[in-house]
Amino acid sequence: MGLKEFFFPKKRDFLKMLADQSEKTLSGMRALRDFMKEPSPANAGRVKEIETEADELRYLLINELNRAFVTPIDREDIFALSRAVDDIIDYGQRTVEEMGIYEVKPTFYMQRMVEVLLGATENINQAILALKKPCPAILKYLLRTKKAENHIEHLYHEALVELFKSKDTIRILKIRELYRHLSNSADRCDEAANIISDIVIKIT
């Protein structure tokens, strides 16, 4: 770091970087939805490609965060929100990867959970975009995310009840793990909503 940058540090737009990351994650969840409708190698590859791009955006954000003297919101909140958003698509990509390993086709419940997950991710993205100029609408996005997470948990338990009717133990173990990944992705949406709520309280 040169003297000029030390005394006059470059202003970094962390809210835009968070928005870029959340929009990339949203693209990844749309690709996951497409994969659940048509589980082709091309659609699986698209999910992996976007997940990798999302990881790169998170790396850039964290690198800039480590170099910044001043941030528009608490750096701990920026880091935690970026991590939660990253985990959303990570669990989605892991689902696709393990479906290939286990040779499992999308089930009705996987498709439904991903549809609701996509809606939750859309609301997280809208809430992050709204952080630049917080308004009452942001609470609407957070509430919708909470409702989506509850819906996914309901679907998760419903799916397990149906799954355990099977006598195929190996299939049960495989699919239960995939359902758990999608449930974990929903938990990260909920975590992101909680972090955004904390940020809003601090800056308003």
pLDDT per position as a tens digit, 186-195:
999 999 999 9
- Report d(CA 12, CA 14) in Å as an integer: 6
For residue 185, give every residue at least 6 positions away whose Cβ sits within 8 Å of its Cβ, in sequence order, or none: 87, 88, 89, 91, 92, 95, 117
pTM greater than 0.85 (yes/no): yes
Nearest alpha carbon to residue 51 among 26, 34, 19? 26
Say if 3 falls within a structural domain.
no
C-alpha Rg value of the chain to the nearest Å: 19
pLDDT, tens digit (0-9, with 9 covering 90-100), for 143-165 = 999 999 999 999 999 999 999 99
The pLDDT confidence band at residue 7, using thresholds 50, 70 and 90, is very low
Q: What is the pLDDT of residue 53?
A: 98
Its domain, for residue 109, covers 12-203
Say if 126 falls within a structural domain.
yes
Q: What is the pLDDT of residue 132?
A: 87
Q: What is the pLDDT of residue 161?
A: 98
CA angle 35, 37, 41 (to 5 degrees): 35
Say if 153 falls within a structural domain.
yes
Say if 4 falls within a structural domain.
no
- Reduce the DSSP state of residue 204 to 3 states and report it: coil
Say if 2 falls within a structural domain.
no
Say if 132 falls within a structural domain.
yes
More confidently predicted of 95 and 136: 95
